[in-house]
Amino acid sequence: MAVLAQTLSPEAGFMRPAETVMDIARLGCLYPYPLSFMRSLLRRVVTQNWQIKPAEFSLCPEGYGHAVYEIKTPRAVFSYVIFAKKLDNAARSDRVIAEDWDMTVTLCEGIVDTERLEWLRTNVPLQEKGRVDASCFVLSRANKSVRNFEAVVSRLAAGQQPNLDEMAKVGYLYRTTAVYGSGKFGMADWDKVKARWPDFSSPFDAEMFSCWMIRHFSLVQADYVAARRAPETAVAMDDKIKRYVGIGNATGLGMAPYLINHPLLINNWIEVREIALTRVLALGIPDEITRGHFVCFAMKAMQHLDEISTDNQEQNKLNANARKDLERALSWFQDRSISTWSEVTSYASEHLGVEAQELLNVLLLELYPDLIGDLESRLAVDEVYSLQANMRTEDLKALIETHYGWALKINYSDPKTQGIFWYRSEEKMEPRLGRRFEEEGAGNEMLLGIGWYVSKCYETLCEFVTANGPEANAARFVFEYPEHRYITRRMQTMARTRYGEIRINAIDLDVLPIQLLRCKLSFFGVGKFDPRSRMWVRNTMFQGAPLVSDIGTNIGDNWCFPIRPAAA
Amino acid sequence: MTAPADLYLSLNELRALLRRVYEALYHHGYDFAVMARSCLWLEAHGLDGIGLILRSLDDLDTPCGEIQLAEPSVGTFKLDGKGRCLIPFVNAAADLAIASAQEKGVGQIDILNVFGRLNILAALKKSARLNLYAAAIWYDAGEQRTHVLWLKSSRDLPDYFILNKAVAGPWGGSGLRFVCAQSDNSVLENVRAVLPEGTSPYLTSLDLSRAYDTALEGGIAVARGDYAALNKIADRLLVPSTDASRRGAGE
């Protein structure tokens, strides 16, 4: 928000411009950074010494049953309720349209008694087809990576640690396939969560916590099953390997509309990130220690890139190029002394690809947690998109030209530029893409082609100004053309922000929704992207992150760019 | 725990459903997001927004006819709603008055020959956000009661007065007046013309605020029949699943 930038005006002057930062090709290259939600959350969990203990743990020897974890934060008590069941392989699907899962979970307020547990048991496993209530604030599910889970359990049962080569390929035992919050299916509204439970008042705190708990349970379950399968020989997984086990995630088109429908929030996330970078560039002094850290982070990042396993050739190429660029930058860096970190970013922008530029930015951000830590409290924003009814239409026209020039440049007479429409399928309202000129359904198109709506509005507005004069106000314009009211108030609102809209033509025939997905996932803190098509991506969350058992220890917040542990 | 008779929807869930309802009714011909928010506010403040939609459905489902706007004097508007439901054009109509209040100090619109007049609530909330004073006044000939929503200074919400008598005015039996201003005078003048001093509100702004807090805390109770009726409309947006569409999901 504008307010945020104003309070930091000394550095705001050096912030990167919107045309650079909001370009979708760049946003689609973002990596997790220290203020990513899962990093911020775990810093808080560890430093505030949250107490997480099983209040109930009722599993059969195969690991099916239920568990209830009690979570004590400095302010409140919550329960995390897990139902684990045996699932036929044929029923296991990562798609949102699936109807059965290996594990279903909810996070709720207070202690769960027997009666409430039974009520949750009748609803939580149903997911979208069930109902929960306003004391719950996350509903989620996960599926086993059957092959990996069984391989890990077999080895543990035989007294061996998991095969690290295999673990490096998959990286998790379970994959989440949907994580719901914000009032869905009767859960507590975000406004309630924010006000009532400050422990979860940053964006997606509760959802990230739930994923971390799924990861925790997956590790507990693997140890548990192995111990019951072979009590004589079984060993528990080493903590260093456990830390390397993340939680898989499959993210599809459903996440993309979120970014387009919440431009104020996304602007805020981007702005905070850019302020952080600007602070580091302005205030961080390269000395022997930080230079050493920088090199260490870079080496770790290169190894991380080497270890990413995906069948997607395009992603492999991106990773390889980023790694090569990083090596080049490192070689350049080690050959000279620099007086400011801006010399590194200048070198990157002149010589390296966008992927490596953004990667280097993250390395710099990792160097100075103290310079940027306070920003994590500023990631939430109240989203109000209000029509400025008294704005002169001539001013509105100028506003569009200034802030939406990128949209006006698109030539919509070329059918390719509107070759796609987004719609909701009758299958669980799953968002899908259709080819506008070949498939039925464009009449029910979702309002996501923002550039196109801007362009139509501008065209009408120009005619309106000609007919009514420049002094006619926006209220008069939208009264006469109610179809432009939404886009008008959106443009007026976003024009007051520093970064504005994501610059994407979401209805172009060649649109790459995974760029939107990767952008959002980077803010979550997700890495190891494994695109399965241009519409959905597998990835790994919390790999390298602290374990529940690490709470209360002096474990550091140093799990960026996770790499495989050394063999024991 | 036995299943409750009503469903409890969160505000966000109801807002999403209402957005789909209005999007299904009007596609993008109106600002469906703000229409949904207006209805949600009514419901969340205990003023039966869902009932207002459901009772208006036949009208909402019919293409909007020509409504006529006049500006008899600067900043004063008159709109003939031709007997239609106020929902589709209430926000845009109120914006005309709000813009005048911002530009000239006071704005007023008489919206005649409409029904569903409580939908004007959102305009008072918007006025509050802009630090304007505002009031909406109408007489319901069917129930022979006069309604006044009055937004006083420093409040986020209006007080709601209902008089069990007819008060004649430009609103007639099926219209309303919405007035907003940068100072209290013009609004007070309109309110005092219908509301005797000392009249107790039917609902105070505090009552409305408490209703909202209750809705936020525990959700909004919605009769299952009403929920099904809303979903039936919203489902018009859904596109049948085909092999091609499954490819469009990334399969």
Q: Residue B248 above 70 pLDDT?
A: no
Interface test with A, best of B2, B7, B12 (most A CBs within 10 A): B12
What is the SS3 assignment for A309-363? Answer: CCCCHHHHHHHHHHHHHHHHHHHHHHCCCCCCCHHHHHHHHHHCCHHHHHHHHHH
User: Furthest-apart CA pair in chain B: how many Å?
Assistant: 68
Q: How far is CA A478 from the centre of its chain?
A: 35
By 3-state DSSP, what share of chain B in percent is helix, strand and coil, each rounded to 5? 45, 25, 30
Q: Which residues of A touch B23 (CB under 8 A)?
A: 447
Question: Over chain A, what is the mean pLDDT?
Answer: 94
What pLDDT is attached to residue B230? 97
The Cα A356–Cα A348 span in angstroms is 7
What pLDDT is attached to residue A11? 52
The Cα A367–Cα A361 span in angstroms is 10
A7, two tokens? 């309070």
Q: Residue B194 above 90 pLDDT?
A: yes
What pLDDT is attached to residue A147? 87
Q: Residue B250 above 70 pLDDT?
A: no
Q: Residue A2 above 60 pLDDT?
A: no
Q: What mean pLDDT comes out for the span B50-77? A: 89
- Lowest mean pLDDT: which of A371-380, B33-42, B62-71? B62-71
Q: Residue A329 above 90 pLDDT?
A: yes
Q: Residue A75 above 90 pLDDT?
A: yes
What pLDDT is attached to residue A3? 39
Record: contact A252-B27, CB cut-off 8 A: no
What pLDDT is attached to residue A505? 97
pLDDT range class, residue A82, cuts 50, 70, 90: very high
Q: What mean pLDDT comes out for the span A206-219? A: 98
pLDDT range class, residue A184, cuts 50, 70, 90: very high
Q: What mean pLDDT comes out for the span A96-120? A: 94
Q: Residue A178 above 60 pLDDT?
A: yes
B41, two tokens? 């506010």
Chain B's closest residue to A476, CA to CA, is: B96
Select from A192, A424, A486 the Cβ nearest to the Cβ of B216.
A192
**Nearest-CA distance B247 → chain A (Å):** 8
pLDDT above 70 covers a percentage of chain A that reads: 97
Q: Residue A410 above 60 pLDDT?
A: yes
Record: contact A131-B250, CB cut-off 8 A: no
pLDDT range class, residue A560, cuts 50, 70, 90: very high
What pLDDT is attached to residue A254? 86
Contacts of residue A223, defined as CB under 8 A and 6 or more positions apart, other chains included, come to A156, A236, A237
Q: Which residues of B touch A441 (CB under 8 A)?
A: 239-240, 245
Interface test with B, best of A180, A187, A460, A479 (most B CBs within 10 A): A479
**Domains annotated on chain B, with CATH:** 6-234 (3.30.1370)
Q: List C-alpha distances in Å: A495 to A455, A474, B181.
A: 16, 15, 26
Q: What mean pLDDT comes out for the span A181-185? A: 95
Record: contact B28-A486, CB cut-off 8 A: yes
Per-residue b or e along B14-45, where b marks 16 or more CB atoms closer than 10 Å to that residue's CB: bbbbbbbbbbbbbbbebbbbbbbbbbbbbbbb
Record: contact A134-B103, CB cut-off 8 A: no
Per-residue model confidence as pLDDT tens digits over A496-547: 999 999 999 999 999 999 999 999 999 999 988 999 888 889 899 999 999 9
Record: contact B237-A444, CB cut-off 8 A: yes
pLDDT range class, residue A13, cuts 50, 70, 90: low
Chain B's closest residue to A427, CA to CA, is: B241
What pLDDT is attached to residue A401? 98
Q: Residue A10 above 70 pLDDT?
A: no
Chain A's closest residue to B107, CA to CA, is: A390
- Lowest mean pLDDT: which of A1-15, A135-149, A324-338, B125-139? A1-15
Roughly how many angstroms between the first and final C-alpha of chain A, as a whole number?
A: 49
Q: What mean pLDDT comes out for the span A319-337? A: 95
Q: Which residues of B touch A119 (CB under 8 A)?
A: 1
Q: Which residues of B touch A118 (CB under 8 A)?
A: 1
Q: Residue A282 above 90 pLDDT?
A: yes
Strand partners, A515: none
Strand partners, A77: A72
The Cα A40–Cα B90 span in angstroms is 43
Interface test with B, best of A108, A387, A396, A453 (most B CBs within 10 A): A387
Per-residue model confidence as pLDDT tens digits over B196-233: 999 999 999 999 999 999 999 999 999 999 999 999 99
pTM exceeds 0.80: yes
- Lowest mean pLDDT: which of A138-147, A246-255, A293-302, A336-345? A246-255
Record: contact B11-A183, CB cut-off 8 A: yes
A15, two tokens? 């912030």
The Cα B251–Cα B246 span in angstroms is 6
